[in-house]
Amino acid sequence: MMKSYIKNIAVLFAFTLFVTSCSSDDDSKPVEGTFGDVELFFDNGVSGDALTLGNSYTNSNGETLTLERFNYIVSNFVLLKEDGSQFAYPKEDSYFIISEEAGTFTVHLENVPVGDYKKIKFGIGVDQQRYLQGETAQQSFWDLAAINNMTWTWSTGYRFVNFQGTFTATGGDGVSRSFMVHQGSNTATDNYREVTLNLPTTARVRTGEMPNIHLKSDANVILDGDNKIALRQNMNQAGTAASIMGGENLIKIAENTKKMFTVDHVHNGAGTHH
């Protein structure tokens, strides 16, 4: 009698494990027609170090920069699966500002179809298609951009990247001068750029399980990337400040910013992790 009882308990235990295992496996698989959220965290740095406004660093151009502002617009997010299929986030909601001075580092995407995503694509700035829809169509984002120093006038549009502070040049007179680098489109060139990044770990979007994609951005790349841009060669006539807001150097900077971002890691889980 005791043996039969023990045997029944063992069978019941094994069955429970089997059901639990199957349930666990089923829970881990995407369910068609359901949705989840994705969070992206942008971690700003300078050549591998944390970026802190007010701190100084020296680049390979022989210039020491003290950063006072580092803001940029990211937009038009697309998540791609291994088979090449993709989900483009609704365009009217796909514009975000990352601001070091405002402490805004997170992009939250809602109602993303469940699935296993292997790549992410996004834009730097505001594309011409969106801009040409007019001010009324994007009034709320325009207002947000204006508050964050990411606009000129409406006729000249958005600043895509706002990077500024002061600098001194090695071997120069030692005087600290202000600099401004504002990447944006103008009548001559479209300086909107797109970036596609592989994810080191699959981002598993599930209902109630939100992946956090941790990206690193390197501000040093703006002037010291594939294209080397010396601020001392972009001074105003008075020699009191440097600014780059157009021309050939801005096109080179726009190409540099395409390599400003890397994916550090992906955390799959229910909460927010950085």
> Quick one: 219 and 116 in the same domain?
yes
Who has greater pLDDT, 175 or 271?
A: 175
Q: Does position 18 have pLDDT exceeding 90, yes or no?
A: no
What is the CA angle 39-25-213, rounded to 5? 15
> Quick one: 20 and 70 in the same domain?
no
Q: Does position 190 have pLDDT exceeding 70, yes or no?
A: yes
User: Among residues 261, 242, 219, which one has the least CA distance to residue 107?
Assistant: 261
Which residues, other chains included, contact 40 with Cβ-Cβ below 8 Å and sequence gap of 6+? 77, 106, 107, 108, 109, 120, 212, 213, 214, 215
8-state DSSP, 145: H
Domain-located, residue 207 = yes
Domain-located, residue 56 = yes
Domain-located, residue 96 = yes
> Quick one: 21 and 121 in the same domain?
no
For residue 273, the model assigns a pLDDT of 53
Domain-located, residue 274 = no
> Quick one: 8 and 135 in the same domain?
no
**Percentage of residues in the chain with pLDDT exceeding 70?**
87
Question: What pLDDT, in 10s, does the model give residues 245-254?
Answer: 999 999 999 9
* 3 state SS of 5: helix
Q: Does position 11 have pLDDT exceeding 70, yes or no?
A: no
* Segments forming the whole domain that contains residue 203: 34-269
> Quick one: 211 and 183 in the same domain?
yes
Q: How many folded domains does the chain comprise?
A: 2
> Quick one: 81 and 205 in the same domain?
yes
> Quick one: 211 and 156 in the same domain?
yes
What is the CA angle 10-11-14, rounded to 5? 85
> Quick one: 116 and 14 in the same domain?
no
Per the CB < 8 A criterion, the answer to whether 63 and 230 are in contact is yes
Domain-located, residue 190 = yes
Who has greater pLDDT, 273 or 58?
A: 58
> Quick one: 80 and 95 in the same domain?
yes
DSSP codes joined into one string, 26-77 = HHHS--TT-EEEEEEEEEEEETTEEP-TT-EEE-TTSEEEEEEEEEEEEEEE
> Quick one: 146 and 244 in the same domain?
yes
Per the CB < 8 A criterion, the answer to whether 117 and 40 are in contact is no
**What kind and span of H or E run contains 12?**
helix 2-28
For residue 270, the model assigns a pLDDT of 58
> Quick one: 8 and 110 in the same domain?
no
Q: Does position 25 have pLDDT exceeding 50, yes or no?
A: no
> Quick one: 223 and 261 in the same domain?
yes
